[in-house]
Amino acid sequence: MGKSIVITGAGMGLGRAMARRFAKDGDTVILLGRTFSKVKALADELGAPALAVECDVASPDSVRAAFATIAQSYPTIDVLINNAAVYEPFTVAEGTDEQIQSIINTNLTGAIFCARAAIPMMQKGSQIINVGSESIAEPFVMLSLYEASKAGLEHFTQALEKELEPQGIRVCTVRAGPMYEDGKERPNWNPDAAMRFAQGCAANGLNMMERPVSQVTSVTDVFRAVIDLPPDVKVMHVSVGARHP
């Protein structure tokens, strides 16, 4: 029997790829996204029972409204995947209030808001999967806020797992790196910041053009494996890295 899987940031990238994979596997996917037109188009592509719900995870009111909408059709959630994230290079000194707040409120606080809303709808055997980043282990220049948000998310995962273990709810981080996807949208970065980011990486011995990149469909295989773990097993952390061909 398929599972009910809520995916935040489902309108593009990894979130969209997971939705397509899980729907193909027979799961019911609930697609959350800040831009409703994107998740609605994906739900139409996948067909019933896929459900598109507008949700800005950085807003507690938006999260509450989204999960109230979900509960009308799916009162029980089997899996929540906190995938929504903001990723933008800038130095701390030049970061605006809006940039700093957007990254922390989306990547960390947003995941907390969604977990808080989902837990009452979960039961023994349900799962929360938080999408982490390889940049925690290998920090990049001009991504300190992004890395801090993802490091905080990993620590939140560890604490929440202990909190929910008595209820039989598993919590896991899947730490992912760069991925390739046909038709992937280019990030809407400031051109000057993007150039300085690449130059800073090169100065630290990291050539972004030579880094191995995973196929996004391969990464969805990892999430599938985590979701399908035997009930007597828990995995709290998975790191996914690309191999050189």
User: Active-site positions?
Assistant: 146
DSSP state of 176: E
Rg (CA), the chain: 18
CA dist., res. 90 & res. 79, Å (int): 33
Residue 44 has φ and ψ, to the nearest 5°, of -65, -40
Q: How far apart are CA 138 and CA 117, in angstroms?
A: 32
Alpha helix segments (H runs only) across 77-185: 97-104, 110-118, 144-164
3-state SS class at 107: helix
